[in-house]
Structure 1
């Protein structure tokens, strides 16, 4: 019985070290993901659809705030070029990453809040959350391939105004 106590202590120590190392690995991943989101935000604020979509995989899927589905980076870029030239021309986006979860070492689910101001209008059925402010919830599924995080899927939902 006394031999199992040191064994349990060693196993507990190894578990704590391994989970601590896993967290450290994710700290680097979180930093990389936050940088990707920051670069995407900068691209939005410049109205640059190519830069905004550069981290989507070629076969990615994106669902926008009105529920339209866009398949593939090219289609996602075309749609964003259209909105950057019309309703969201000159708009500014402020993004706050709320949460990043790693269900697998190379998979991340990213939950972010977007606050868009300076838009000239909104798509049918979408309202400002507050006067002059469109707030949305963005959910991304990302995958790290060859050392780079890429967006596999995105889903953006507008936050309705308080009643």
Structure 2
């Protein structure tokens, strides 16, 4: 696969994630993850496997993040080995009515995060094998 074709295929994964989020579709959101994927949430929850990722997102789509808007932008994608991509994304979650316990918004109704994804190539498709979402703290260090 040529470099641009690979980048396009990975971008389709990100686009699908944003579309699934917009529809509140936990099944579609989780479908981009490998069956044995690991997801560390912004709260530090350690979620293993696609079924767990789906259940976690079904909960947040039906509760705290219902109707929220997800915007992801790619900061950098690196390829440390053939068939492996490490992507760093900047994320904005807006239109949030109420944040779950332990989550401090970046601004009222807005959460900014850094999303680290490890993707692996399976034939011509890419799946998320590991993900970690980290809140961007709006207060400077002193």
Q: TM-score, normalised by structure 1?
A: 0.82
Maintained 8 Å contact 2:114/2:134: yes
**Residue 141, structure 1, aligned to residue 141, structure 2:** no
What RMSD in Å do the two structures reach over aligned CA positions?
1.2
- Quick one: higher RCO (CA 8 Å, sep 6+), 1 or 2? 2
Higher helix share: 1
Structure 2 residue aligned with 1:61: 38
Structure 2 residue aligned with 1:155: 132
Structure 2 matches for 1:58-97, cutoff 5 A?
58-97=35-74
Spell out structure 1 runs of 4+ moving beyond 6 A. Answer: none
Runs (5+) with no aligned partner, structure 1: 1-23
Q: Alpha-carbon deviation of 1:162? A: 2.7
Task: Count matched residues.
Answer: 140
Indicate the structure (1 or 2) with the bigger Cα radius of gyration. Answer: 1
Structure 1 residue aligned with 2:8: 31
Secondary structure of 1:75's counterpart equals helix
Distance in 2 (alpha carbons) for counterparts of 1:97 and 1:46: 21
Q: TM-score, normalised by structure 2?
A: 0.94
Runs (5+) with no aligned partner, structure 2: none
